[in-house]
């Protein structure tokens, strides 16, 4: 038994949009299923059930879908506000710039502290004790035990940059959700169908 899942974003709830969604699911199932053994594959699709709550963003809709138990019972349709396509405010532009700066700092720091830039030809692994030629080290990891060969200070600094990026991204998401009343409503259709 094989099951196929996917998602589709609809602009509205008209008959035309729902017919398009039905045809899309049917063709996806038929293209990925065994139609020789199951010639009627894609004819009996699971029903589409719509949630009444309108989510503030696409991310909220995905989180709501993850919290529900809908798989293999019905296809889920969740309305959400399309905050990604609204006009950006100055604060949102500022947050985007801060994210880019933080990502640039992180990338530069990772390149600067790469094991290939060490002066010595051999690097010792603190975990397994191996002495490794730095030409054989990929992604600053020991090829024997996969331990990160960078210093603790370097690891802490990298994690600090990553945490800053997460924090700013969360602020951006909150700022976008504040503008959700201006955004159009779209529909996230999540499906999981039997394909043979």
Residue-averaged pLDDT of the chain: 90
SS3 113: coil
Residue 190: what pLDDT? 92
| CA–CA distance, 63 with 68 (Å, rounded to integer) | 9
pLDDT for the residue numbered 196: 75
Residue 134, pLDDT above cutoff 80: yes
CA–CA separation, 181 and 132 (whole Å): 58
Question: Is residue 102 very low, low, confident or very high in pLDDT (cuts 50, 70, 90)?
Answer: very high
Q: How far is CA 16 from the centre of its chain?
A: 29
Same domain for 174 and 94, yes or no, is yes
Per-position b or e across 73-112, b if 16+ CB within 10 A of its CB: eebbbbbbbbbeebeeeeebeebeebbeebeeebeeebee
SS3 for 168? helix
Structure-block tokens of residue 188: 């996230």
Residue 133's SS3 state is strand
pLDDT, one tens digit per residue, over 25-73 is 999 988 888 888 888 887 888 888 999 989 988 989 999 999 998 888 8
**Residue whose entry in the numeric block shows the structure tokens 């409503």:** 185
- Name the percent of the chain lying above pLDDT 90: 44
The answer to whether residues 8 and 72 belong to one domain is: yes
Q: What is the pLDDT of residue 169?
A: 93
Same domain as 96, residue 79:
no
Whether 104 and 157 share a structural domain: yes
When pLDDT is averaged across residues 130-142 and rounded to a whole number, the result is 88
Number of domains in the chain: 2
Domain that holds residue 79: 3-86+183-194
**Same domain? 104 vs 171:** yes
Q: What pLDDT is recorded for position 1?
A: 58
Please indicate whether residue 151 or residue 166 has the higher confidence score (pLDDT): 166
Per-residue pLDDT reduced to its tens digit, 1-11? 588 889 999 99
All residues at 6 or more sequence positions from 162 whose CB lies less than 8 Å from its CB, including other chains: 106
Q: What is the pLDDT of residue 98?
A: 96
Does one domain contain both 66 and 99?
no
Q: Strands 48-50 and 75-81: what pairing?
A: parallel
Same domain (yes/no): 38, 100: no
């Amino acid at each position: 038994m094989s099951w196929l899942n996917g998602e589709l974003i609809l602009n509205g709830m008209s008959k035309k949009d729902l017919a398009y969604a039905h045809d899309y699911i049917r063709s996806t199932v038929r293209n990925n299923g065994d139609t020789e053994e199951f010639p009627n594959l894609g004819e009996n699709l699971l029903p589409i059930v719509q949630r009444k709550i309108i989510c503030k963003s696409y991310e909220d809709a995905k989180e709501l879908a993850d919290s529900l138990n809908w798989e293999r019972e019905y296809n889920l349709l969740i309305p959400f506000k399309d905050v990604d396509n609204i006009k950006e405010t100055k604060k949102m532009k500022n947050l985007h710039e801060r994210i880019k700066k933080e990502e640039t700092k992180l990338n530069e720091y990772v390149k600067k502290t790469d094991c290939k830039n060490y002066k010595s030809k051999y690097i010792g692994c603190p975990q397994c004790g191996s002495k490794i030629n730095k030409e054989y080290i990929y992604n600053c990891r020991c090829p024997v035990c996969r331990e990160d060969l960078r210093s603790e200070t370097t690891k802490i600094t990298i994690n600090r940059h990553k945490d800053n990026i997460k924090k700013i991204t969360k602020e951006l998401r909150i700022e976008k959700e504040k503008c959700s009343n201006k955004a159009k409503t779209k529909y996230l259709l999540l499906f999981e169908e039997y394909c043979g």
